[in-house]
Structure 1
Amino acid sequence: LIEAISDEQLRRFRANAGAGQLLTTGLFALVRHPNHLGEAMVWWGFGLAALAMGGWGVWPVLFGPLLLNLLLRWVSGVRMSEVDLEARPGFAAWVASTPAMLPWPRPRR
Structure 2
Amino acid sequence: MQAAIQLLQLLLLALPAVVKAEGCVTKACTLDCQPGETCALQMVDCIRAPCPPIQACVDFQECRIYEPDRSDYCADVCAEGRCPKGSICELQEVQCIRAPCPPMATCNK
TM-score, normalised to structure 1, is: 0.29
More strand by share: 2
Larger Rg: 2
More helix by share: 1
TM-score, normalised to structure 2, is: 0.29
Q: Which has the higher contact order (CA 8 A, sep 6+)?
A: 1
